[in-house]
Amino acid sequence: MAEVLKGMTERITPRQFHEADGVEDWRVLGEGACTYFRTGSFAAGARLVHAISQLAGIEDHHPDVDLRYGGVTVRLITITNDYYGLSERDVELARQISAVARKLGVPADPSAVWNVQVSIDALVGPEVLPFWRAVLGYRDRGDSPEDLIDPHGRGPLVYFQQMDAPRQQRNRIHIDVWVPHDQAEARIAAAIAAGGHLVTDKYAPSWWVLADAEGNEACLCTWMSRD
C-alpha cells in the first residue's frame, strides 16, 4: 500500500509526474516540478500570479512563484515533516495553473527552467554542517540530514556529500545544476564549446560531471535514473 500524505494524496515519482496527462508545460528539477511563463511584462505577470492565487485549494498547497518583468517561474513541491518531493496534488495543481495561463494567453516555456544546488564534500558531515547552517541562516531539511535549505526559499539547497577519504587534487565544493531532462545534451554541448570538458558520463542520465579549463567541477543533473 502506497504511503499517503495529508489530504489522502499519494507520493509519486518524477517519471509518474511526466507520464501524467496535462503536464506538458512542466519539467521536474530535483524534487519539484517547474515551468516558466513568458508574460512579456510585469503587469501581465502580476495578473497570472493573481489568477493562480484564486485557484481552489491553493492555500493548502502553496506554489513557489517568482515574478519578474519578462515572466513568471512556478515551482510545485509537496513538503511535510518527513517528505520533500512530488505528489498527486502537484499534478492536479500543474494542470490548473497551465489552464489559467492559457486562458490569459500566456505561453509556457519549460525549456527556460533550471535549479542550482551547492554540494560540499565532507568526511564528517555532522561536524561541518552546523557551521554552514549558522553562516547561511539556513535550516535542516526535515527528511534529509544531509541537506540545508533556505527558510525563505531564495537561496540554493546545500547538500553535504559523504566522502570516504580526503581528495587532495579535487575541489571540495561544487555546483549541481538541475536542468530539464530534454535540455541536458544542449547544456553539456554549450559548456564544452565554452572551454569546459566532460569529466565522466558514468552516472548519466542522472548526472554528468563537467569541469572548466582549470578543473573546477560542476554536475549537470536531471531527474532521470540510470536504470
Domain ranges, ordered by start, for the chain: 14-109, 122-221
Alpha-carbon span 29 to 218, nearest angstrom: 16
Distance CA 154, CA 157 (A): 9
Are 154 and 65 contacting, i.e. CB atoms less than 8 angstroms apart? no
Q: 14-109: what fold?
A: Gyrase A; domain 2 (3.30.1360)
Query: Residue 146 and residue 160: Cα distance in Å, rounded?
Result: 5
Q: How far apart are CA 155 and CA 169, in angstroms?
A: 28
149 phi and psi, to 5 degrees?
Answer: -130, 150
Given a contact cutoff of 8 angstroms between Cβ atoms, the answer to whether 83 and 30 are in contact is no
Q: Among 4-13, 33-42, 98-107, which stretch is predicted with the lowest mean pLDDT?
A: 4-13
**pLDDT tens for residues 65-79?**
999 999 999 999 887
- List the beta strands (DSSP E) in 138-205: 139-141, 144-149, 157-162, 173-178, 197-200
pTM above 0.75, yes or no: yes
168 vs 99, higher pLDDT: 99
158-189 residue pLDDT tens:
999 888 777 666 678 899 999 999 999 999 99
- pLDDT grade for 122, boundaries at 50, 70 and 90: confident
Q: Which of 215, 216, 213, 184 is nearest to 201 (CA)?
A: 184
| pLDDT at residue number 110 | 96
Which CATH code is given to the segment(s) 122-221? 3.10.180.10
Write the burial class of residue 154 (CB in 10 Å: 0-12 exposed, 13-18 middle, 19+ buried). Answer: exposed
